[in-house]
Amino acid sequence: EFVEPKHKLDLVVGQEAAVKRLKDDANLITNGHQEAAPMGYLICGPVGTGKTFLAECYAGSIGIPCVKLRNFRSKYVGESEGNLQRVLTVLRSLGPVVVIIDEADASLGDRNQDGDSGTSGRVFSMIAQQMGDTQYRGRIIWMLLTCRPDLLPIDLKRQGRAEVHIPLFYPHSEAEIRLMFGVMGRKNGIKLDASTLTLSERHKTLSGADIESVVLTARRFALVDNRNDVTQDDVATALADFIPSAQGIEKDMQEAAAVLECTQLDFLTPEWRERLDAKDGRAKLQQQFTQMRATVESM
């Protein structure tokens, strides 16, 4: 599926180091220095942190075709591989092109899947070979998006394939939450003054998706009331009524997984950098992640 990106990286809130890295890489490609660009990116983080939005903003900033890899699998033996081969042929002829694979851990599978006459293993092998073909560096830019990078085979996220691992986080300050409200308003064509909003303790865990949901609920209030303009009262009412998801341990596990995958220290928040810099910080986080994963899988 061809995607027409409507936004650029200037609209991304927070994640300053990640945005700078993506902008610098986009400039390298547009200036003809494809050899200095990464083969691909792994964008990970808890649900609702804007992974797809960031990927599409990158494609909009770089100004080259952007495609999303959709389901190419068939119930007939051999047809899935044929479909994928045609897709890869198109990508090779298009370059430069950004390829976005959402829910990559589920979409791509791995080489050890059984029960389908080896189709999944062959599909995985074809994609892995294409991702690692360095003659297409800067021509086919892979963007793997997932909230569970720990489930993604190491073959795909090694250096030489998805080289740059970018973790995304929820807004971690009140100022960032208010800025996010402003950006979501602009994204959806709604004018609002976030400085007047009252934020309670339960709003400190809002994700980007939560904030957009509040903004769209405010629009719904206006439309139900036969109004085209969204007022500050609409936004305030929607925010006061909204209850964030209670799946805390799963979100914590996804955030820890993203931190453990990170390939550049300044992608992390100051709190996470301080935590990893502590004695045995990374080992303790790995142990905590393993415990959280076991708890989630037993639920």
What pLDDT, on a 0 to 100 scale, did the predictor assign at position 110?
Answer: 66
What pLDDT, on a 0 to 100 scale, did the predictor assign at position 106?
Answer: 79
Which has the higher per-residue pLDDT, 113 or 3? 3
pLDDT in tens, 105-153: 877 766 666 655 667 778 788 888 888 998 999 889 999 999 999 998 8
DSSP state string for the chain:
-EE-----GGG--S-HHHHHHHHHHHHHHHTT-GGGS-SEEEEE-STTS-HHHHHHHHHHHHTS-EEE------SSTTHHHHHHHHHHHHHHHH-SEEEEETTHHHHS--TT--SSTTHHHHHHHHHHHHHT-GGGTTTEEEEEEES-GGGS-HHHHSTTSS-EEEE-----SHHHHHHHHHHHHHHTT----GGG----GGGGG--HHHHHHHHHHHHHHHHHTT-SSPPHHHHHHHHHH------HHHHHHHHHHHHHH-SSGGGS-HHHHHHHHSTTHHHHHHHHHHHHHHHHHH-
What pLDDT, on a 0 to 100 scale, did the predictor assign at position 75?
Answer: 64
pLDDT in tens, 191-204: 888 888 888 777 77
Residues 6+ apart with CB under 8 A from 219: 188, 190, 230, 234
What pLDDT, on a 0 to 100 scale, did the predictor assign at position 144?
Answer: 93
Distance CA(160)–CA(149), nearest Å, equals 17
Arithmetic mean of pLDDT, 83-95? 84
Res. 76 pLDDT band, cuts 50 70 90: low
pLDDT in tens, 17-64: 999 999 999 888 888 888 888 999 999 998 888 898 888 888 888 887
Which has the higher per-residue pLDDT, 262 or 90? 262
What pLDDT, on a 0 to 100 scale, did the predictor assign at position 183?
Answer: 82
b/e burial code for range 264-282 (CB count within 10 A of at least 16 → b): eeebbbeebeeebeeeeee
Arithmetic mean of pLDDT, 205-219? 87
Report residue 262 as tokens: 């990170």
Percent of the chain with pLDDT over 90: 25
Arithmetic mean of pLDDT, 241-261? 86
pLDDT in tens, 262-291: 999 999 998 999 999 999 999 999 999 999
What pLDDT, on a 0 to 100 scale, did the predictor assign at position 123?
Answer: 78
Residues 6+ apart with CB under 8 A from 171: 13, 14, 177, 179, 180, 206, 207, 208, 211
Which has the higher per-residue pLDDT, 89 or 119? 89
Res. 164 pLDDT band, cuts 50 70 90: very high
What pLDDT, on a 0 to 100 scale, did the predictor assign at position 95?
Answer: 72
Residue with tokens 């209030």: 221
